[in-house]
Chain A
């Protein structure tokens, strides 16, 4: 069978059933997923043009703020490159992000954490990578927040990241953490990832050279999507 993309390494990704992250217990399939060759159905995907974006879409400090106002919290720029496993940049792909505010509070109806909402912070942003796979957004650093898993579990500061790539097979949602945060190594969600080496690829690096003086610190976070193979041999059924 031909397969246009390198197979996912399911020993590198978190498995479905990770009991220390309690919600996974009733939401994980018990049967193994069935390996299938990809076809056009998986090797194509939606395309989003730069005309989708509004001028503030990648600026979470101001995109929900009242005119003249800004979100409260440590100002940061997050930037990086989306590449595939062969190192090729992934240009013109949509990256969506969402996060809590500086106090660890999400703007969501079902969230009841006592830290207050910031009236000038919504928590969503998006951008499209340029021709070199580069993306950038501006935000405030999110705070850690407690969640009902174990009796005293706290998420490390994190930003959720959704990437489309160029096909449905590359579709990925993950989370970005911050260099030096001790909470990373205590978190049951981070701990769903089997290896320390894999976890470290989700930790954004403080980039002092990229900071904007008197304005914002910079974090670097590169994203790797599945690699698209060159189709060297095309299988044909006998007689076709």
Chain B
């Protein structure tokens, strides 16, 4: 059953999450109350974990320059010491967040920790990053990307993923920049500033 020579089933094909994804994933946000006590992924910090507290803000923008108001954004990241929840990560930190964005502006916000460096399979250290997964009406298969920090120049310069990207001119699309008290990470689905997406 487990060897590569045996018959394999195909992965269930993806379909768009559609415009009403929030009914299933963030019902309280929509006003469907009383089914779940709170929406999953509302808080990444549930206790008092060590590390620098940061805020990440951004929007998902379509090919015509409009912010999506019906996207669902999920993030997954290590704690301040580069450890993941479920794999020895800090207590009081889930590492996973989900945001429907603001209903009027589409802006998502995550209150989280600045992640530590996580090793790559070959032993090199990756630069601090947050993994993003984006679904929405019009997106047929969830989009994977990564947010890095523009102020981590040294680590970014040796990151195994960033250094491998052929079109280095596109790397800045993955860099979040300080904007007031928050890091800003806008995701462009299409157009001149199109964000790099990954086939992982």
**How far, in angstroms, from A48 to B126 measured CA to CA in the complex?**
27
A132 neighbours in B (Cβ, 8 Å): none
**How far, in angstroms, from A224 to B22 measured CA to CA in the complex?**
23
User: If A29-B189, A64-B35 touch, does A171 touch B74 (CB 8 Å cutoff)?
Assistant: yes
Please tell me the number of chain B residues within 8 Å of chain A, measured between CB atoms: 85
User: If A27-B190, A223-B12 touch, does A15 touch B76 (CB 8 Å cutoff)?
Assistant: no
B189 engages A42 (CB within 8 Å): no
Q: Please report B residues at the A interface, Cβ cutoff 8 Å.
A: 1-2, 6-25, 27, 30-32, 34-37, 40-41, 62-64, 68, 70, 74, 76-78, 84-87, 94-96, 103, 118-124, 126, 129, 131, 133, 135-144, 146, 160-161, 164-165, 170, 189-190, 194-200
A sample of 17 more A-B contacts (CB under 8 A), given A87-B7, A171-B133, is A12-B13, A16-B141, A27-B63, A29-B195, A30-B190, A34-B165, A46-B94, A85-B10, A109-B30, A110-B70, A122-B23, A123-B23, A168-B144, A172-B11, A173-B17, A193-B15, A227-B8
Instruction: Considering the complex, give the chain A residue whose CB is closest to the CB of B133.
Output: A171
**Residue A114, interface by CB 8 Å:** no
A173 engages B32 (CB within 8 Å): no
**How far, in angstroms, from A5 to B74 measured CA to CA in the complex?**
20
Q: From B11, B121, B135, B164, give the contact of A85 (CB < 8 A).
A: B11
Instruction: Considering the complex, give the chain A residue whose CB is closest to the CB of B198.
Output: A36
B13 engages A26 (CB within 8 Å): no
A125 neighbours in B (Cβ, 8 Å): 24
B13 engages A160 (CB within 8 Å): no
B85 engages A13 (CB within 8 Å): no
* From B94, B121, B194, residue with most partner A Cβ within 10 Å: B121
A26 engages B2 (CB within 8 Å): no
**Residue A199, interface by CB 8 Å:** yes
Instruction: Considering the complex, give the chain B residue whose CB is closest to the CB of A230.
Output: B2
Instruction: Give 15 A-B contacts (CB < 8 Å), ordered by A residue.
Output: A16-B140, A27-B63, A33-B197, A34-B197, A36-B198, A42-B200, A44-B85, A44-B87, A46-B94, A87-B7, A87-B8, A107-B23, A109-B31, A124-B24, A160-B17
A162 neighbours in B (Cβ, 8 Å): 17, 24-25
B15 engages A108 (CB within 8 Å): no
Closest Cβ of chain A to B127, distance in Å, is: 11
B131 engages A14 (CB within 8 Å): no
Instruction: Considering the complex, give the chain A residue whose CB is closest to the CB of B87.
Output: A44
A7 neighbours in B (Cβ, 8 Å): 199
Instruction: Considering the complex, give the chain B residue whose CB is closest to the CB of A237.
Output: B122
A29 engages B123 (CB within 8 Å): no
B20 engages A108 (CB within 8 Å): yes
Q: From A15, A30, A45, give the contact of B194 (CB < 8 A).
A: A30
**How far, in angstroms, from A26 to B143 measured CA to CA in the complex?**
14
User: If A14-B140, A26-B62, A64-B32 touch, does A83 touch B9 (CB 8 Å cutoff)?
Assistant: yes
A169 neighbours in B (Cβ, 8 Å): 200
